[in-house]
Structure 1
């Protein structure tokens, strides 16, 4: 399993950065290779991706979500294995640090090769840069401020 940890500072208030990140169905607008995200309910999303000519579909479950602080998820179905967390930290009234940590288990030769070449790491960096551009452009399509707590007491956020 590979761990990727990247951060970007965005020039928007904390609540705006957090609110926009909760709009999962907007992810294809700034995440390369993400074709579609369908929010099934407050905890679950269905993803369709096309990366390096490989199409994948999988489901994720949000296991911990605290407004203006963090969102932690894991895959629960499909043909990929990952877990991750995005954290939001107020820098000042108009700047927020967004830090994304992901544990990804590459499957198949193409994905293992991409991981060995650092392509997953670069993809995450690019996605964060595009999120910065997207959220700073004035796009704010909503926000979900609910709290999701881990159901399993042994489950800890990243």
Structure 2
């Protein structure tokens, strides 16, 4: 399993960055390799991706979500991956978006892409794309503020405060 982690500082309020991140259908506009994302249920999304000429479709489940703090997911089938994105305020008008993705490359093209750092650069580029997208918009294009604990939805529940770990920028 490979791990990619890092962070990006974004010049919008933490609420705007978090709200935009919950709009999965906007991901193809800033996330390289993502062709389409559908969200048929609050905790379930269907992804169509293209990497190295290989198109893949998979479902992913949000397993934890706390407004303005965290979104965690895991795929339900190959290609297996999981991860989280954390949102940390940096004053009133900026925030840090920290991410960690764990994945198992499938097939020769993906294993080679991972070995040569192509996947890592793609993920880092996608987060920089998110920064440019939300800063360029100046505000979020939508929001979903529900809380998910272990896959169970609790709409608009107040999140419990937790310390937020910080990884160095990669």
With the length of structure 1 as denominator, give the TM-score of the two structures: 0.93
The corresponding residue for 2:28 is 28
Q: How far apart, in 1, do the equivalents of 2:102 and 2:40 lie?
A: 23
The corresponding residue for 2:75 is 75
Residue 140 of structure 1 and its aligned partner are, at CA, apart by: 1.8
Q: How far apart, in 2, do the equivalents of 1:151 and 1:109 lie?
A: 33
Say whether residues 1:134 and 2:119 are aligned partners: no
Pair 43,151 (structure 1): closer, same or farther in 2 beyond 3 Å: closer
Question: For residues 54-133 of structure 1, what are the structure 2 equivalents within 5 Å?
Answer: 54-77=54-77, 79-133=78-132
Residue 13 of structure 1 and its aligned partner are, at CA, apart by: 0.3
Q: How far apart, in 2, do the equivalents of 1:151 and 1:54 lie?
A: 30
The corresponding residue for 1:155 is none
CA deviations over 1:125-152 (Å, ceiling 9, x no partner): 1001110000001252110100000159
Residue 17 of structure 1 and its aligned partner are, at CA, apart by: 0.3
Q: How far apart, in 1, do the equivalents of 2:142 and 2:108 lie?
A: 39
Structure 1, unaligned stretches of length 5 or more?
A: 153-157
The corresponding residue for 2:14 is 14
Residue 105 of structure 1 and its aligned partner are, at CA, apart by: 0.3
CA deviations over 1:95-116 (Å, ceiling 9, x no partner): 1000110001001011010000
Q: How far apart, in 1, do the equivalents of 2:80 and 2:88 lie?
A: 27
Q: How far apart, in 2, do the equivalents of 1:7 and 1:120 lie?
A: 16
With the length of structure 2 as denominator, give the TM-score of the two structures: 0.87
C-alpha contact 2:63 2:151 (8 A) present in aligned 1? yes
Runs of 4+ in 1 over 2 A off after TM superposition: none
- Give aligned pairs, total: 152
